[in-house]
Amino acid sequence: MSRPQFSLGKYLLPVYAVVAFIYLLTPIAYTFAFSFNNAGRSNLTWQRFTWDNWRNPCGAPAVCESVVNSVAIALFATLGSTVLGTMIALALVRYRFRFRSATNLLLFLPMATPEVVLGAALLAQFLNLRVNPGFTTIVIAHIMFCISFVVVTVKARVATLDPHLGEAASDLYASPRVAFWRVTFPLLLPGIAAAAMLAFSLSFDDFIITNFNSGNTDTFPKFVYVSATRGIPAQANVIGSAMFLIALLVVLIGQVLAARRRAAAEAR
């Protein structure tokens, strides 16, 4: 009877996974805990537990104004980058044209270029065109760097689709527009939704490019950066915790809907 052999990898990988999760979630746990801190002027040390910060998340000056600006910018940037990125992804996968390879290469440049370089270059371009930095320039800058992420995400979805499905719709006398909206678009929708959520999170979270091109417009990341020198107010922790919980809820809803679709498909 052979003895079971000790395997270091069997125990090392779970321990590594637990340590990695603790490392990733510790800042989130800190943010959530200090959203209940009765901090006063500074939120650097724990004072005592209170619900007041969650009851009045706009208690700190300008915090809600910065959040509204960030959400509005992220929505415009998501809409613009998702529409443009989806069309580019379809063109790159479904069609052959001159400079297709060069276009693929150029799309990766915003992802590989340091943000400080992009931010400074965009600011110089806006100043050369005599455009004052502000809300509009932030939206333009965010659309520019979000398009690359949308294209990469949607391209992966388009590549998995059978092109003969559109041809079958055409054989059934569907026009190209009807075939796209009735066949192609529903199949692309999960990839488009994932790309849109990625673009929204990237836009809402961006600081470096925004700081270069924002002018007097305050966004939530800028508010947090400026407030960090005197102690980030607890209301900022409330906003951050709420955004995390909303994102977690969206992911859970997506997983539940996907599980239901799989169960319905297996039941057939």
Give me the count of residues in the chain.
268
- Fold classification of 63-219 (topology level): MetI-like fold (1.10.3720)
Q: Domain residue spans in the chain?
A: 6-60+233-268, 63-219
What one-letter code names the amino acid at 63?
A: V
The mean pLDDT of the chain is: 85
**DSSP string for residues in 60-96:** STTHHHHHHHHHHHHHHHHHHHHHHHHHHHHHHHH--
* Side-chain-facing half-sphere of 101: CA atoms under 13 Å: 0
Three-state secondary-structure class, residue 36? coil
**C-alpha torsion sign, points 107, 108, 111, 117:** negative
pTM of the model: 0.83
176, pLDDT greater than 60: yes
What one-letter code names the amino acid at 130?
A: R
Name the range with the highest mean pLDDT among 92-96, 199-203, 240-244, 263-267.
199-203
User: Residue 113's Cα: distance from chain center in Å?
Assistant: 18
| pLDDT, tens digit, 9 for 90 and up, residues 45-69 | 788 888 888 888 887 788 889 999 9
**Distance (Å, whole) CA 78 – CA 196:** 6
| Per-residue pLDDT, 86 | 92
Answer yes or no: are the C-beta atoms of 115 and 146 closer than 8 Å.
no
